[in-house]
Chains A and B, each alone.
Chain A
């Protein structure tokens, strides 16, 4: 098992003592693409920070690659090499003079040799779609918001993690930026067989990409299932005041009105074709 959480609870030690996570049990295997959804404050961000030891839970154990990371402080650095975490608005963490140096920050911390660092930087810049020769010497602060985000994501990919965790990576991107990001995640998952954990408010994104969806609510996992199953539980999601993907909402509503459509389609073109078919055979 890649990541294993056993009876994990977490309380933030401040004046409010908010119980951010309650008795979480969770297993994540290699090669999964997990979507995590839930309201702000449902515990999603706390949960993913447990995976690489940025937060040590108040109780319970977290195992990564079979190693318990909750008691031995010494191997946290090792854990962080396996679990890469891309924070919300990751471009806010850029600090180096050039794109190259910023992406090289992680590999340098791993103590890699110069040649290998260069190789990795070139490779990950290719992955996120930044031309190496064109961008390597530019200041990250003179790039557009979308390009800065790519640099930041490349900076985490350069650690060559087994698991890539992304917290709202598409927030603030335009449709084109979102499309490129989705392509990247698909590639990492399908071609490089990376394990991916994606937090997002955009249900469309989750439905399109994830192979398993975890719904969080007030510090607990309330649903953990295949996307088709999750998004067919319309009532439950509405009760948690979470949205369906818009296209699913449309298909559900049409089905309620008596149009015979398959409601398990998440791509707009497939769903539109399905509606067309149903209309023609009416």
Chain B
């Protein structure tokens, strides 16, 4: 069984008067250790999907299993939240305490971990996100990228199997975005943590094992980054950003220049010269 199994899931918000559910017939498996990227424009349902994984919402129809645990069973809620940590978009609105180390400790404290063990976990988690030495800092003195890394550390300290990041880079400058992406990739590649990264920046999908494109509450495409980036026109139709290198490659291909599937500037340059 996969770490995350979603089958036949619909979701309709209670206060929503429109006929269209926020999610419609979602089927998806994410394997342990994978780096999955979900892309979609605003209102495509990607954030709703993220909340379902952490039992902040439960499906209106269909079922979701996380590490074999059914999310619709209330007895599983806290177990699942410990195994699937979540990082949100706004770096200012998810840090609880006025000191970095107290914030990172918040999750373990809730789990009832003994004091000495919390200390170890906090220091280890801060080191893993490259924020060692910031223990005593106040969150409002940190840059956006640093705040997000503290938020990630707060999740890591709960020792989850999987981290779901809901547009963690949307409000950051290029520097902060880079910091966060490098941290996430390090945690996935070096520490074996499963990552579900939700974004509307297509470039962030380049290194993924699996890319899921969402539009209007449905999964439009699923596959490797290369297979997805071949669909330039369709992605543009659903209001997604195409990396410039991919767009140039597509233009040249249509002019009958033979170019393999490329994802980055490096690959494009190598293909052309």
Contacts and interface: CB of A to CB of B under 8 A. Distances in A.
Interface of A: 39-41, 144-146, 171-172, 174-176, 201, 204, 241, 243, 246-247, 249-250, 253-254, 257-259, 268-269, 271-273, 275-276, 279
Interface in B223-261: 236, 239-241, 243-245, 247-248, 251-252, 255, 257
A144 B239 CA distance: 15
20 contacts: A41-B143, A145-B42, A146-B42, A172-B171, A175-B236, A201-B173, A201-B174, A246-B245, A250-B244, A250-B245, A253-B265, A253-B269, A254-B269, A257-B269, A257-B272, A258-B273, A259-B273, A268-B247, A271-B248, A276-B255
Nearest to A243: B174
B273 A39 contact: no
Contacts of A201: 173-174
Given A40-B175, A201-B174, A250 B265 contact: yes
A52 to B, nearest CB: 24
A144 B43 CA distance: 10
A144 B42 contact: yes
A174 B244 contact: no
A115 to B, nearest CB: 37
Contacts of B251: 268-269, 272-273, 276
In the A-B complex, the 8 residue pairs with the closest CB atoms: A257-B273, A246-B244, A272-B251, A253-B269, A40-B173, A174-B41, A272-B248, A176-B239
Contacts of B248: 247, 250, 268, 271-272, 275
Given A172-B170, A174-B41, A272 B143 contact: no
Contacts of B244: 204, 246-247, 250, 268
B268 interface: yes
Nearest to A249: B265
Nearest to B252: A276
Nearest to B144: A40
Interface of B: 41-43, 143-144, 170-171, 173-176, 200, 236, 239-241, 243-245, 247-248, 251-252, 255, 257, 265, 268-269, 272-273
Contacts of A268: 244, 247-248, 251
A28 to B, nearest CB: 24
Contacts of A254: 269, 272-273
A171 B171 contact: yes
Contacts of B171: 171-172
